[in-house]
Amino acid sequence: MKINRRSFLKKTLAVGSLLTGGGSIISACSGIIRSDMPVRKPANQSAVQLDAVRNAILCYASLAPSGHNAQPWVVKIRSPNDWIIGADPQRRLPAVDPNNREAMLSIGAFAENLAIAASTFGLKAEMAVLAQDPFEKDILQVSLVQARLEDYPLQRITGRMTVKHGYLPGRIGKEDLQVLSKPFNGRIFYFPRGTAHADCIAEGAIENFRRQSQRDDAQQELVQWLRLSNREAERRRDGLTTEGMEIRGFKGWFVRNFVQPQDFMKPGYRRQGVDHTAKLARQGAGWLVITSEGRTIADLIETGRRFERMTLLARERSIAIQPMTQYLEEQAGLNQIAANHQKDMIPQFVLRVGYLKHYPEPVSLRRPVNWFIES
């Protein structure tokens, strides 16, 4: 395999800095962010050894988005070029994602990052869907074969995040819309801010968030994925941190130091969550809805891949994208959609979209590669 040494070093250093960063001194006054993660040997280190290229490919893959940042993937390394991407049963979200639909979308996004990163190292990631149902552990077979070196700007992957605040009110321009639609083959719909349809989606998103926040099982599941203290965030490197939830400044400091995840079960906290979501849902350029051709595992993986391809293009154009998934997680939301659309319309993502003045640096944490690989 031919790899330009300079570009290899640049890439592996960039990935290294994701894990090392400059700041191993984590101030008690600020929340942990991705670049704070110190280098240390994780306790549950896998015995599987990977070379630097394959380690880097999986590190890029793991920067994919996932519901509650649960990072539902596990990768079985059968040989250096033969891997199986699986769904980790410990990382399911049964209360909000009982059919593992979102886990499959997230694994699709992981697979897309993996394929892109591999291509920049002169490897083609050939993939075949193994699973028939979403509760099987083995989901996707990956074979790495030598191929032409592709030149893809990997900083799109390292720089992407789910931005929630600061959406500007301007509508998405025609040219940008064409670019974002490219991966979808017509299965994406834009509802610009100010239209009746966009208002309807915003109100539905808020209403279904409110419904979900009143459901104890869903709220308890959220509590399980909160990593409020820096200590817990550093120990687990997944889930939702104050920085990831964009709880900043004094409020962030207070939450990190004085609030327990279980406090989120209290009515006041649930109410605050709804009020906050209502404010966000009314900001931005409108909504994108992504649909799929069918409901098979292959459809879900493909939709997750396209979604990731789109968010990477959006990153480059300083366009923020936030899934507001409660609409698709609450039965009332699904019923409302079904009542107003044709039967073959299968929604997979409801996304708030908007231009940003400045695209921030990603903050959500990831587990190191050797925490999610096995032999």
Return residues touching ligand FMN (CB under 6 A).
65-67, 69, 102, 105-106, 109, 161-162, 244, 322-326, 362, 364
Q: Which two tokens stand for residue 374?
A: 């096995």
Indicate the residue among 73 and 190 with the shorter CB distance to ligand FMN.
73
What letters, b where the CB count within 10 A reaches 16 and e where it falls short, cover 306-323?
Answer: bbbbbbbbbbeeebbbbb
Residue in 116, 93, 328 with CA at minimum distance from that of residue 218 = 93
Q: What angle do CA 163, 331, 240 make, to 5 degrees?
A: 30
State phi, psi for 321 to the nearest 5 degrees: -135, 125
Give the shortest CB-134-to-ligand FMN separation in angstroms. 13
Handedness of CA 13, 241, 111, 83 (dihedral sign): positive
How far apart are alpha carbons 76 and 197 in whole angstroms? Answer: 44
Q: Which residue's CB is nearer to ligand FMN, number 102 or number 330? A: 102
Q: How far is the CB of 80 from ligand FMN (least distance, A)?
A: 28
Q: Quick one: CA dihedral 156, 162, 167, 169, positive or negative? A: positive
Nearer to ligand FMN, 75 or 205 (CB): 205
Closest CA to 130 of 83, 167, 165: 83
Determine the residue with CB nearest ligand FMN.
65
> Is the Cβ of residue 348 or residue 370 nearer to ligand FMN in the bound state?
348
Kind and range of the H or E element at 191?
Answer: strand 188-192
Min dist CB 219 to ligand FMN, Å, is 14
226 neighbors 31 (Cβ within 8 angstroms): no
CB 100 within 8 A of CB 87: yes
Helices within 162-195 (DSSP H only): 174-181
Distance of closest approach, residue 205 Cβ to ligand FMN, in angstroms: 9
Nearer residue to ligand FMN within complex by CB, 119 or 322: 322
Cβ closest to ligand FMN, residue 292 vs residue 326: 326
306 near 218, Cβ under 8 Å?
Answer: no
- The C-alpha angle with vertex 168 and arms to 176 and 311, in degrees rounded to 5, equals 45
Residue closer to ligand FMN by CB (options 123, 219) is 219
Q: Nearest approach, Cβ of 248 to ligand FMN (angstroms)?
A: 15
Measured CA to CA, the distance from residue 327 to residue 55 in angstroms comes to 36
CB of 362 to ligand FMN, least distance (A): 6
Residue 252 or 323 with smaller CB distance to ligand FMN: 323
Q: How far is the CB of 7 from ligand FMN (least distance, A)?
A: 24
| Smallest separation, CB 9 to ligand FMN (Å) | 25
